[in-house]
Structure 1
Amino acid sequence: MARPWDEVATALVVERGDALSRYAYLLTGSVDDAADLVQDALVRTFGTPRLGLTLPRAEAYVRRAILNQVIDRSRRDGTWRRVRHLAAAPSSVDSPNAATDERLDLLERIRALPPRQAACIVLRYYEDLTVDGIAAVLGISSGAVKRYLSDGLHALASSLDPAATRAARTGGDHVST
């Protein structure tokens, strides 16, 4: 006889497993890391029986567990990020398709953002959540979400076109004669 939380876990994996994997991939950039994150989040959520867990609530728990793991991993790996350029040359892959290059470049730039900024950007523009929805998922205030979105979008814009960002800050391109 299946218990209700078992049924919810099974339904979540069957119905929303791909979406959870895509969400984790957007936060990590690695299919393997994303799969590990989803698995760990499912174990954390369903490792012990939880009464009264509905499918939407379970998905919210799993998404929050994924995000928390990304943030925790980012904190642990902070030292490595500061020195990794000294140990290894970055790998690059040439692509015949400029759109693919731009998409991969943007994905890399999102992953370079601080974890909460990246999470807000992904939740807003991939999950299409409102500011209040993001605040509820992350357990932070709407004002904090707005700040993370603003800072994240500014960082992305300046990394994509530093000259335009400088011009916008100085009031435009003025040529002195």
Structure 2
Amino acid sequence: MGRNSERDREFTEFVSARRDGLVRVAALLVSGDLAKAEDVVQTALTKLYLAWPRVRPETVDAYARRCVVNVATDEHRSLFRRREQVRSQLPETPVADDPWNDNSTVVSLLGTLPASMRAAVVLRYVEGLSIAEAADAMRCSEGNVKSQSARGLQRLRELLPAGHLTNFAKG
């Protein structure tokens, strides 16, 4: 088996195992827009594939998360974001058992947070990353992660009914 086919096999196995989790993170980073989340993950996986030979196996999950955070943040900051395109047919409708419906209030409120604050909250309290892991994914200091996540949670607590935030956050 050639070197490239081994690389492709390893990458395909990684994507099969981790894609759903990356889409979940991306959806929260882009305020629950599943179509945009899919685009973010596709772009992030393309970047990961190009870097695949240089990524160490023990850091591949962190690298993939960083790619997703960077793409979601870049998408949000871009001055030349793609505009909505008019189509003659309606897009497919979402499935009834969409996992984001349970937390639709929280997901929409996450969209009110600035991108870096939203990323800190999602990575720390939804994905359960340590402060150091979140700082690495966001390419910032641990102190920044602490302050961004604390302020983000405080804003969410102010806007959410009592007890709703505890159902949303894992950690």
TM-score (norm 2): 0.71
The residue that corresponds to 2:29 in the other structure is: 27
- Cα shift at 1:2: 4.5
- Divergent runs of 4+, >3 A: none
- On the 8 A contact 2:111/2:118 being kept in 1, the answer is yes
Between structures 1 and 2, the one with greater helix share: 1
Count of residue pairs brought into register by the alignment: 140
Q: Quick one: structure 1 residues 11 and 108, their matched pair in 2 at CA, closer, same or farther if it must change by over 3 Å?
A: same
Residues 1-177 of structure 1: pairs in structure 2 closer than 5 A = 1-3=1-3, 4-28=6-30, 29-47=32-50, 50-51=53-54, 53-54=56-57, 56-76=58-78, 103-160=103-160
When residues 115 and 2 of structure 1 are mapped into structure 2, their CA distance, relative to the original with a 3 A threshold, is farther
Q: Which has the larger radius of gyration?
A: 1
What CA distance in whole angstroms lies between the structure 2 residues aligned with 1:43 and 1:128? 25
Consecutive unaligned residues of structure 2, counting only runs of 5 or more, are 82-99, 162-171
Q: Give distance in 1, aligned partners of 2:114 and 2:14.
A: 29
Higher relative contact order, chain-length normalized (CA < 8 Å, sep 6+): 2
- How far apart, in 2, do the equivalents of 1:132 and 1:60 lie? 11
Deviates more, 1:104-113 or 1:2-11: 2-11
Residue 152 of structure 1 aligns to a residue whose secondary structure is: helix
| Percent identity of paired positions between Structure 1 and Structure 2 | 31
Give yes or no for contact 2:62–2:133 (8 Å, CA) kept in 1.
no
